[in-house]
Chain A
Amino acid sequence: MAMSTLSNNTDAVPEQALPEPLLGQLRDSVQQVLSTMVDARCDGCEGAHGEQLRIQAMVDFHGAHAGTLSLACDDDGAASLARGLLMLAPEDPLAPEEIEDAIKECANMVAGVLKTRAFGADGDARLSVPRLAAAPLANNDGLWWRVQAGALVVGLRRAS
């Protein structure tokens, strides 16, 4: 699949251990978005099995709960996520820009749900517009999902 591959990892989010309530809220937020919006089989799974994460979107939290949410996929995961969001059949054409926009929008929705779940509907957290960032290539610490045959990893870095 032709996709803009981000080769350096300067924007990669170094995952840190999150406290369990926040980890659970992150897991539930991802699950809510996938189950509501993505027409594809999505299952939580254990960490890395050599997948090459090729594309990553980030959303920043500003305010009292500052941090960055990251959502990264391998090629298959990115395409499956985009097709699932857009309800496209496997034979339907899918442009690289459509995949990138779908990954950003998915990260945006996860961040929005997490904001409400973790920080309250009126908590002091403002979301940035989602952006693409260099993919981390490998990530053993985020929360993993299988999207069809591909991989999706979501992490959260809190500002110190």
Chain B
Amino acid sequence: MNKLLIVDDSSTMRKIIMRVLRQAEISVDNILEAGNGVEGMQQLLSNPDIALVLSDVNMPEMNGLDFVKEIRKSHTKEKLPVIMVTTESGQGLLANALEEGANGYVCKPFTPETIRSALEPYCG
């Protein structure tokens, strides 16, 4: 995979995800970061070759659900895989995320195996 984007307002969580990707032996050439949905959209505009997005839900400025909506509004990003990584495990919220266009979700706390399983379909 060329580029992966991690969107989370916690720098700790972004670092944890990067570490878990290494532990799960998921090969990524370049990992980009953003602190909220607004920054995430800017990264997507600047890096059209991003192949996968991992996004938190509960973030300031633009939350994860609105971020997914914005991605799906973009004709060039209609099929970009987006996985939500969230402490919010309510089935209603997760179903809402899938309806808005997310491709899957991982609930925190997670193990490397959980991340690997969620990302495997998109890691060719």
Residues of A whose CB lies within 8 Å of any CB of B are: 32-33, 36-37, 82, 85-87, 97-98, 101-102, 104-105, 108-109, 111-113, 115-116, 121-123, 127, 129
B2 close to A (CB within 8 Å): no
Interface residue from B16, B90, B107, B109 paired with A86 (Cβ < 8 Å) = B16
Size class of the B contact interface (CB-based, 8 Å): 20 to 34
In the complex, number of A-B residue pairs with CB atoms less than 8 Å apart? 65
Output the least CB separation between B109 and chain A (Å). Answer: 4
In the complex the two chains form, is A112's CB within 8 Å of B12's CB?
no
Given contacts A36-B109, A129-B59, contact A105 B19 (CB under 8 A): no
In the complex the two chains form, is B89's CB within 8 Å of A129's CB?
no
In the complex the two chains form, is A129's CB within 8 Å of B60's CB?
yes
In the complex the two chains form, is B10's CB within 8 Å of A108's CB?
yes
Output the least CB separation between A38 and chain B (Å). Answer: 9
Cα–Cα distance between A27 and B15 once the two chains are bound (Å): 26
Q: Give 7 nearest A-B pairs by CB, closest first.
A: A112-B87, A36-B109, A105-B10, A105-B12, A102-B12, A37-B109, A101-B12
Interface residues as binary, B78-95 with A (CB distance below 8 Å gives 1, 0 otherwise): 000000001111111000
Task: Find the residue from A87, A112, A122 having the highest chain B CB count within 10 A.
Answer: A112
In the complex the two chains form, is B87's CB within 8 Å of A111's CB?
yes
Cα–Cα distance between A111 and B87 once the two chains are bound (Å): 8
In the complex the two chains form, is A108's CB within 8 Å of B19's CB?
no
Residues of A within 8 A of B92 (CB): 122
In the complex the two chains form, is A86's CB within 8 Å of B19's CB?
yes
In the complex the two chains form, is A98's CB within 8 Å of B11's CB?
yes
Q: Which of B81-123 contact A (CB under 8 A)?
A: 86-92, 107-111
Interface residue from B16, B90, B91 paired with A37 (Cβ < 8 Å) = B16
Residue in chain B with minimal CB distance to A95: B11
Residues of A within 8 A of B9 (CB): 129
Interface residues as binary, B58-71 with A (CB distance below 8 Å gives 1, 0 otherwise): 11100000000000
